[in-house]
Amino acid sequence: MSAASLSALFSWDVLAWSKPLLKGLGVTVICALLGYLFGALLGLLIAFAKLGSSRLLSGTATAYTVLLRGVPPLLVIFLLFFGTNSLLMWIASGFGYNDYIEIDAFFIGVIAVTLVVAAYSTEVYRSGFKAVPIGQFEACHALGLRPMHGMLFVVIPQMLRFALPGLGNVWIMAVKETTLLSIIAVSELMRVASSAGRTTGQPFLFYGLAALAYFTIVLVSNRFFHWMEDRLRHS
């Protein structure tokens, strides 16, 4: 096969799979973004519990972070996917419904990313809170600010300056974690690229395009987080 015909074949294959690839890329970004946002918020709440005075809440938060960080993300996905279905079928059987119940795989994927992101972002927030000078907490008390107001307007903005680089790394981890969701049939970018490679017999081409897409997401994300760091540093 000549170079011209090979190039034409590559162009035709890419053109034919361009729409599924773009759709898979959209699923990847949406799943990672939803999981990251929910996970970052949940991680902040867990960090408060971990740093609080309640031994019960602190112990529970510590156990959560140790467990989720110690278990492979793929195992978390499997436990959620199969465990949730089994639990719902067991509950439904109590009401006389014995048919198979299947939870949407994308929904399970978002929950899995959320739980893992929450575990890692909790430690990032905890380190950020530890980096805030103790005098800032004392100043809030001296000024008569309510604990919630002092936390929202004084402590958390300073904590974010220290936590932002770590949160950027957690975001990149969330994007990469979405590649595991192809195991439970989520039509994200990696699954579409794999299907395209098998169908056309050109796995290197489509895996290369997927790698380029992931690299672009990471590159743009790094630029964004660096810009945010500069803004917070100047403010």
Q: pLDDT tens, 4-24?
A: 444 544 566 677 788 889 999
Judge contact between 178 and 28, C-beta under 8 A.
Answer: yes
Query: Which residue reads 């604990």 in tokens?
Result: 147
In this structure, what are the phi and psi dihedrals at residue 137, rounded to the nearest 5 degrees? Answer: -65, -40
Dist CA 73 CA 76 (whole Å): 5
Neighbours of 197 (CB within 10 A): 20
Q: Is 173 exposed, middle or buried (0-12, 13-18, 19+ CB in 10 A)?
A: middle
pLDDT at 65: 94
Residues in Cβ contact with 140 at an 8 Å cutoff, skipping those fewer than 6 apart:
147, 149, 150, 151, 154, 155
Judge contact between 184 and 81, C-beta under 8 A.
Answer: yes
Q: Is 175 exposed, middle or buried (0-12, 13-18, 19+ CB in 10 A)?
A: buried
Neighbours of 108 (CB within 10 A): 22
17: helix, strand or coil: coil
pLDDT of 174 > 90? The answer is yes
pLDDT band at 103 (very low <50, low <70, confident <90, very high): confident
Dist CA 224 CA 219 (whole Å): 9
What tokens were used for 61? 């938060």
Closest CA to 167 of 118, 107, 94: 118
pLDDT at 147: 65
pLDDT, mean of residues 50-54: 84
Mean pLDDT (the chain) is 84
What tokens were used for 124? 């990032």
Per mean pLDDT, which range of 21-30, 89-98, 102-111, 153-162 is the poorest? Answer: 89-98
